[in-house]
């Protein structure tokens, strides 16, 4: 990858920009308690972080010996989304320190920006609008947009296709190796890698060692540290080592 130039940055949402994984755990736990199913914090963080709601609910139901029918999944997702929006209307989206500045700084460098997330589109858009970031992001690939969530690469493949097909069009095609994914989970890193992207990981949710083992090209301790370190420097380091 020597000589390649960074042209696009694709951010995960939960756990990278917005510090709401504890909220999601609480709400998954609440919804399942209403269904008579127990979900521990250890189980959630070890097995389900990085999945979209559909994938997480499906797997949880299977483990509980229940059938994840489309109608039941739709009801569970809608109920959790309602609880989430109620919380956000009360408290706002809890951005990590440095997250909004990271997005602004990346936009100011002229990179094409996208969000690739297992969150629902309305959640991503609401958060970006809260911080005045919506106009700085070219595209969002959310849970609503894909059939297979992370760790499957579909969302990142769709993001690269969108960068190249949605106006304003780039002067030349952006290739996966010219983009970097900013992720916080092994599932997200696997998804990006499967689409041909390198990843910079933030250890907000998982220990740095697990992120490195999952294939992250570089790991920083927090989103604020990433803003200070500079994505371009990290990307160049990954490219130079490849």
62 and 154 fall within a common domain: no
Dihedral angle sign, alpha carbons of residues 198, 200, 204, 209: positive
Whether residue 31 is found in the same domain as residue 79: yes
Q: Does pLDDT of 179 surpass 80?
A: yes
Query: Which of 69, 91, 113 is where one domain is finished?
Result: 91
Lowest mean pLDDT among 15-19, 49-53, 85-89, 161-165: 49-53
Structural element, H or E, at residue 177: none
Q: Are residues 34 and 14 both part of a single domain? A: no
Q: How many domains does the chain have?
A: 2
DSSP H or E run through 242: none
The answer to whether residues 194 and 103 belong to one domain is yes
Helix, strand, coil shares of the chain, percent, nearest 5, are 55, 10, 35
Residue 1 in domain: no
Whether residue 103 sits in one domain with residue 87: no
Residues 112 and 41 in one domain: no
Q: Which domain holds residue 132?
A: 8-19+94-241
Shared domain for 121 and 214, answered yes or no, is yes
Please state the three-class secondary structure of 106-144 as a single string.
Answer: HHHCCCEEEEECCCCHHHHHHHHHHCCCHHHCCEEECHH
Please state, in angstroms and as integers, the Cα–Cα distance from residue 147 to each residue in 20, 185, 206, 210, following that order. Answer: 24, 20, 26, 27
Query: What is the tens place of the pLDDT at every residue in 52-91?
Result: 899 999 998 999 888 899 999 999 999 999 999 999 999 9
Q: Is residue 210 part of a domain?
A: yes
Last residue of a domain, one of 91, 120, 147: 91
């Amino acid at each position: 990858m020597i000589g390649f130039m960074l042209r696009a940055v694709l951010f995960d949402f939960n756990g990278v920009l917005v510090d709401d994984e504890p909220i999601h755990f609480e709400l998954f736990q609440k919804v399942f308690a209403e269904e008579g199913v127990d979900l521990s914090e250890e189980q959630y963080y070890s097995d389900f972080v990085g999945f979209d709601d559909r994938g997480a609910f499906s797997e949880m139901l299977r483990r509980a010996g229940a059938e994840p029918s489309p109608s039941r999944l739709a009801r569970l997702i809608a109920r959790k989304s309602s609880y989430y929006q109620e919380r956000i209307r009360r408290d706002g989206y809890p951005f990590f320190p440095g997250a909004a500045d990271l997005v602004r700084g990346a936009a100011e460098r002229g990179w094409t920006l996208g969000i690739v997330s297992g969150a629902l589109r309305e959640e991503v858009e609401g958060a970006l609008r809260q911080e005045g970031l919506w106009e700085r992001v070219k595209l969002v690939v959310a849970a609503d947009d894909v059939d297979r969530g992370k760790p499957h690469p579909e969302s990142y493949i769709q993001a690269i296709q969108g960068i190249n097909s949605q106006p304003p069009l780039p002067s030349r095609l952006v290739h996966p190796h010219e983009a970097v994914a900013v992720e916080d989970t092994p599932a997200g890193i696997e998804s990006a890698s499967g689409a041909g992207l390198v990843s910079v990981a933030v250890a907000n949710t998982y220990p740095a060692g697990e992120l490195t083992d999952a294939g992250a090209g570089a790991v920083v301790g927090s989103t604020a540290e990433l803003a200070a370190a500079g994505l371009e420097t990290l990307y160049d380091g990954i490219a130079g080592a490849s």
